[in-house]
Amino acid sequence: MKKQRDTAYRPRTRHIHPDGAPKYTNRLFLESSPYLLQHAHNPVNWYPWGDEAFETAKKQNRPVLLSVGYSTCHWCHVMEEESFEDEEIARYMNTHYIAVKVDREERPDIDSIYMNAVQAITGRGGWPMTVWLTPDRKPFYGGTYFPARDGDRGTTMGFLTLLTKINEMYHAQPDRVEQAGRQLTDIIREKHHPKAGDGLPTASLLHQAVDYYKKAFDPDNGGIAGSPKFPSTMPVRVLFRYYRRTGDEDALRMARATLDSMAAGGMYDHVGGGFHRYSTDEKWLVPHFEKMLYDNALLAMDYLEAWQVTGDAAFKRITRDILRYVKRDMTSPEGAFFSATDADSLTPAGHSEEGYFFTWTPEEMEMVLGAERAKIVKTVYAVGETPNFEGRHILHTPKAVENVAESLGMTPESLLSVVEESKELLYKERSRRPPPLRDEKILTAWNGLMISAHARAGLILGEPQYTDRAVRAARFVLEHLYLRNRLYRSYKDGRANHKAFLEDYAFFTAALLDLFEASHDIAWLEKAIVLDSELITRFEDQKNGGFFMAGDDHENLIAREKPGYDGAEPSGNSVAALNLLRLAEYTADTRYLKRAEKVFTTFFGRSESSPIALSHMLLALDFYLDSPKSIAIVTPTGKKDDAEKFLQAFREQFIPNRILAVTTEGEELNAHSKRIPYVREKLAINGTATAFVCIRGNCELPASDPARFARQISEVEKLPDVEHG
C-alpha cells in the first residue's frame, strides 16, 4: 500500500514485528476515519463499505460480515481485542466471509438501515453492531457485541461458533437466507418511509407527551425511571416550554430535578466540565465515560434555558463549564470542534481501563491539594473510605453546597471559591495522565449543534467570546466542508469526505440562524436560506412532506430513510421543521410555513402518532401553535451598543418562540430590510435606540424604554387545554 503516515504513527495492534512494523495491514489503512484506522492492522482482511466488497462477495459466493461502530465505543474496542485481533477468528473470517467495517458517525445512513434489522431480529440495538448480509446487501441475521468463544462472559455460543454456523447455513440453506433477507428488507423499507398523515397536529400532542413523562418520571433521581439513564430521554426543553404556556409546576419540577441530578452525579465531569455519554445506574453516578460533542452541545442549551427559566446561577455555571471544556479539550487549532473522546485510558501500569483518567483516590487528591484543602474538597465530592468504581472514586455532589458549607463551618461563597480553585489544580494534575483517545474528525452536523450552543450562550449570557467561537467554527465549515455548492459530512486529514446528510444540513442551518441572532450579521441568514434551497432540491419529499436522510444523488441503499425518531441526537426532520418556521417568520414567505406543516402532517398527522418518539419536533410544534414574536431593535448610526439596554431585558426572559433582529440605521438596516420584511421602515425614533415587537404583522407601539419593551415581550399565549386542543 502506497499511503504513508507521519513518523509519530503507531499501529494499533498487538501483532507487531520486532522492528515495530505491523504484521498485518488491510484496506482500512487508506481511510481517514479514526474508527476505521483503529482496525487497519487487524489480521481481519477488512474492506471499507463500497462496491468492491460486495462485488467480491458475489464473485466468491460468500456472505458479508458487516461490523459498525465508532472510535470511542468501549464495547467496540472489547470486540476488536477479543475477536478481530484473534488470528484464529480472523483466518476463519478471511476464508469464509467478506468483512466490511463502517464508521457509523460518517455513514449514519448505513448504520440506521442495518440497526433497524438488528432491532427487528433481537428487539434491541447498540454498538458494535454485527450484521450478516447477502452480496446484494440484504441483512439476514444480526446482533451487537458477541464474546469471542463459547462460554466467554457467560455466553452459550461465542462469535467464532456463530460465524461457523451462519456460514454453513448460508451455503446449505440459501432459500432460508433469501427469505430472511427479503423479510428484513421489507421491514426496513416500511419503517424508513412512514405513511403520510391526513391532518395537522394540535396541542393535545404536547399534553400527551407531558402526561407520559409524568408517569415515567423518577421522583428520586430525576429523568426517566430505571437504568441506564440517558440525558435525552427526559426532554427538559419541552417541559420548560410546557411550563411557560401552562404554568404546570410539575413540568418545571421534573426538568429542574433532572438537570440538578445529572449535574450532581458522576455523569458530569466535575473537574474538567462536560458530560459523559450516559449513566449506567439510576442515580446518574456511574457513567459510561465516553464524551460526545453532540451530548454536550444539547446539554449546554438545556442548562442555558434552565437558567433563563429559573434564574438559578448554578445552571449558568454548568453552561459555562461545558463550553470551557469544549474550548480546552475539543476545539481544533482552526476553531472547529472534534467529535468525541474515549471511555478508556491507560493506567500507570500501561493497562487500558474504562474511566481511569476521570477517577481519583483520596491519596491522589491529598497529594495535589494538600491535606487541609483536600479535606474540604473530598467532603464536597463525597470521597470517603469506600470507593465507588473499580477501587477508585467517581466525584459527585450528593449534598447541596449550602449543607456541605454548614457542616464545614463555611459560607457557601467561600466553599465554592475553594472548590473552583481546587478544580483547576486537579485538572492540571489530571492532564498529566495519558488522556483518552480523541476522535478528531470534524462532523458538520455535530459542529452545527455546538455552534448553536455557543451562539445562544453568546446572545443570552451577553458574552461575545462564545459568539466569536461560533463564528470561527462556522467559517471553518463553510471553507472546508462546503465545496462546489454542496455540503459535506466529515473532515479529517485535510479533506472533506461523504456528501452531507439531512442532519448536517438541518443542524448547520439552525446554527446559522442562531449565529444571525447572536452576531446580527445578515450573511448568516442569507447562507441559511441557501442551504434550505438545497434541501428542497435534493432531500425533500415534495409530494408527501418531510425530508429523506440522504440526498437524491447519494448511494442507493436497500432503503431511503425519512428519519422520524429523536434519540440521543434530534432527527433531521425535527430540526428542519423548526428551521422552516423560523425562516417563515424572518422572510414572511408562507412557502416555508406550508413545508413545515407538511412535516407535521407526515409525522404527527395520524391518530396513532407517538409524540414522545419525536420529542425535539415538539419544540417546533410548540412554536407553530404559539404566536411567535418578531423582535427588532434599531439603533442610530454609529451607536450599535445602544441596543444593549434592550438585549439585557430580552435575556432576563425565556422567550423560545421568537425571532430577533438587531440592526443599525444606514447600510446595515438597508441590507436587513431586503431580506426581513418586518424591519422595513423601522427607525431609531428621535435618535435613540428603539425596540419593536410584532406578532404576525401586527406591531406593538415602538418602545424606547426597556421596561416597556420587557412588558411587551413578557406576554405569553396560553396553550389550549386538552378539551379545546
pLDDT digits (tens, 9 = 90+) for 422-468: 999 999 999 999 999 999 999 999 999 999 999 999 999 999 999 99
Task: Identify the pLDDT of residue 448.
Answer: 98
Listed in order, strand segments (DSSP E) in 144-198 are none
**Of 115, 107, 194, whose CA–CA distance to 541 is shortest?**
194
Judged against a pLDDT cut of 90, whether residue 534 lies above it is answered with yes
Judged against a pLDDT cut of 80, whether residue 194 lies above it is answered with no
CB 166 within 8 A of CB 141: yes
Task: Identify the pLDDT of residue 136.
Answer: 96
Task: Identify the pLDDT of residue 20.
Answer: 86
Task: Identify the pLDDT of residue 108.
Answer: 95
Query: CA 620, CA 318: separation in Å to the nearest integer?
Result: 26
Query: CA 260, CA 236: separation in Å to the nearest integer?
Result: 12
Q: In angstroms, how far is the first alpha carbon of the chain from the final one?
A: 64
Name the band, by pLDDT with cuts 50, 70 and 90, for residue 2.
very low
Task: Identify the pLDDT of residue 281.
Answer: 96
Query: CA 439, CA 311: separation in Å to the nearest integer?
Result: 36
Those residues whose C-beta lies under 8 Å from the C-beta of residue 483, and which sit 6 or more positions away, are 496
Which percentage of the chain shows pLDDT scores above 70?
98
Listed in order, strand segments (DSSP E) in 222-292 are 278-279, 287-288, 291-292
- 686 conformational bin, left if phi > 0, alpha if psi -120 to 50, beta if neither: left
- What is the pLDDT of the chain when averaged over all its residues? 94
DSSP calls for 96-147: H-EEEEEETTT-HHHHHHHHHHHHHHHS---SSEEEEE-TTS-EEEEES---
Average pLDDT for 712-720: 95
Of 20-34, 196-210, 346-360, 597-611, minimum mean pLDDT range: 597-611
String of b and e for 29-49 (b: at least 16 CB within 10 Å)? Answer: bebbbbbbbbbbbbbbbbbbb
Query: CA 103, CA 630: separation in Å to the nearest integer?
Result: 42
The pLDDT tens digits of the residues spanning 34-60 come to 999 999 999 999 999 999 999 999 999
Name the band, by pLDDT with cuts 50, 70 and 90, for residue 4.
low
CB 84 within 8 A of CB 42: yes
Cα-based distances in Å from 269 to 154, 219, 378: 33, 23, 15
- 599 conformational bin, left if phi > 0, alpha if psi -120 to 50, beta if neither: alpha
Judged against a pLDDT cut of 60, whether residue 10 lies above it is answered with yes
CB 26 within 8 A of CB 42: yes
What's 437-493 look like in SS3?
A: CEECCEEHHHHHHHHHHHHHHHHHHCCHHHHHHHHHHHHHHHHHCEECCEEEEEEEC
Task: Identify the pLDDT of residue 12.
Answer: 87
Those residues whose C-beta lies under 8 Å from the C-beta of residue 420, and which sit 6 or more positions away, are none
Distance of CA 526 to the CA centre of its chain: 25
Judged against a pLDDT cut of 80, whether residue 3 lies above it is answered with no
**Of 334, 331, 274, 266, whose CA–CA distance to 298 is shortest?**
274
CB 587 within 8 A of CB 529: yes
Name the band, by pLDDT with cuts 50, 70 and 90, for residue 284.
very high
Q: What share of the chain is helix, strand, coil (3-state, %, to 5)?
A: 50, 15, 35
Name the band, by pLDDT with cuts 50, 70 and 90, for residue 696.
confident
The pLDDT tens digits of the residues spanning 620-650 come to 999 999 999 999 999 999 898 999 999 999 9
The three-state secondary structure class of 549 is coil
The domains found in the chain, sorted by start residue, are 27-192 (3.40.30.10), 345-435 (no CATH), 629-714 (3.40.30)
Task: Identify the pLDDT of residue 723.
Answer: 46
**Of 120, 170, 173, 138, whose CA–CA distance to 66 is shortest?**
138
**Of 442, 443, 440, 473, whose CA–CA distance to 455 is shortest?**
473
The pLDDT tens digits of the residues spanning 137-157 come to 999 999 999 999 999 998 899
The pLDDT tens digits of the residues spanning 345-359 come to 999 988 989 999 999
Task: Identify the pLDDT of residue 99.
Answer: 98
**Of 110, 106, 31, whose CA–CA distance to 64 is shortest?**
110
C-alpha cell at 60: 466468491
The pLDDT tens digits of the residues spanning 84-93 come to 999 999 999 9
Task: Identify the pLDDT of residue 6.
Answer: 57
Task: Identify the pLDDT of residue 689.
Answer: 96
The pLDDT tens digits of the residues spanning 419-428 come to 999 999 999 9
Task: Identify the pLDDT of residue 190.
Answer: 86
DSSP calls for 70-95: -TT-HHHHHHIIIIIT-HHHHHHHHH
Query: CA 380, CA 725: separation in Å to the nearest integer?
Result: 47
Those residues whose C-beta lies under 8 Å from the C-beta of residue 533, and which sit 6 or more positions away, are none
Which percentage of the chain shows pLDDT scores above 90?
91
Bridge-based pairing of strands 340-341 and 291-292 is antiparallel
Judged against a pLDDT cut of 70, whether residue 1 lies above it is answered with no
Judged against a pLDDT cut of 90, whether residue 725 lies above it is answered with no
Q: Which amino acid is it at 267? A: M
Task: Identify the pLDDT of residue 724.
Answer: 38
Helices (H) and strands (E) in the chain, counts: 26, 20
Q: Which residues pair with 139 in a beta bridge?
A: 133
Task: Identify the pLDDT of residue 389.
Answer: 94
Those residues whose C-beta lies under 8 Å from the C-beta of residue 577, and which sit 6 or more positions away, are 596, 599, 600, 617, 620
Judged against a pLDDT cut of 70, whether residue 722 lies above it is answered with no
Task: Identify the pLDDT of residue 371.
Answer: 94
CB 197 within 8 A of CB 609: yes
C-alpha cell at 309: 427559566
The pLDDT tens digits of the residues spanning 576-622 come to 999 999 999 999 999 999 999 999 999 998 766 789 999 999 999 99
